[in-house]
Amino acid sequence: MPLVMHVDMDSFYASVELRRRPDLRGRPMFVGGATRGVVLSATYEARAYGVKSGMPTTTARRLCPQAVVVPPDFDAYAATSRGVFEIFETVSAGVEAASIDEAFCDIEGALLQYGSPRQVGEQVRALVADEQGITCTVGIAGSKFVAKLASAQSKPDGLRVVADDDIVSFLHPLPVEAMWGVGEATAAKLHRLGLRTVADLAYVPRTTLQRAFGT
């Protein structure tokens, strides 16, 4: 059986900036333009005010006027990304980049060295923290879909292993919005059908979904 590890850096650009600006730790901060453009990455302190990636800077400043705005340094992010991916390659011969700050890794072969999926994940998290000075979240499962959901549900700085026997109990309580590929428009349609959790979706007749979304 395949074993997939999804690793996602926590607030990547913002975390790289905090590494060299430790005075900003614990404070609302986001990376982006000071007066125009969009938010590229925000600390969790800024997210508590509703600031999120892709949001216009003007909106972010209105939501959180006390936030410190840091201009982006893409060279620093690229260098950190290279270091992070080198770490992934120490535990996996099959690393698939999903973006500059996340990847899927085939870790089936790593079990011989590390003993268990959790130990592989903890090794990667420790190396990223020690060598790059930032945190990451890890999800491990038998498929990319479940591994990515596991990491998303464990942020920030967490680890979740979903065994095959636990997939249904893990997935069913999740809101439909948590599913990979379900955006705001699709979620709104599902809500209008009374479908709010993955369990709701699992038990609805396929014909109902076909009428709502087409074949």
Residues known to be catalytic: 102
Q: Which are the contacts of 83, defined by CB distance < 8 A and separation ≥ 6?
A: 131, 132
C-alpha distance across the termini of the chain, in Å: 31
Could you tell me the sign of the dihedral formed by the alpha carbons of 108, 111, 114, 115, in that order? positive
Give the C-alpha distances (Å, rounded to integers) separating 197 from 12, 38, 54, 172, 208.
Answer: 29, 31, 26, 7, 16
The candidate with the shortest Cα–Cα distance to 135, out of 21, 58, 43, is 43
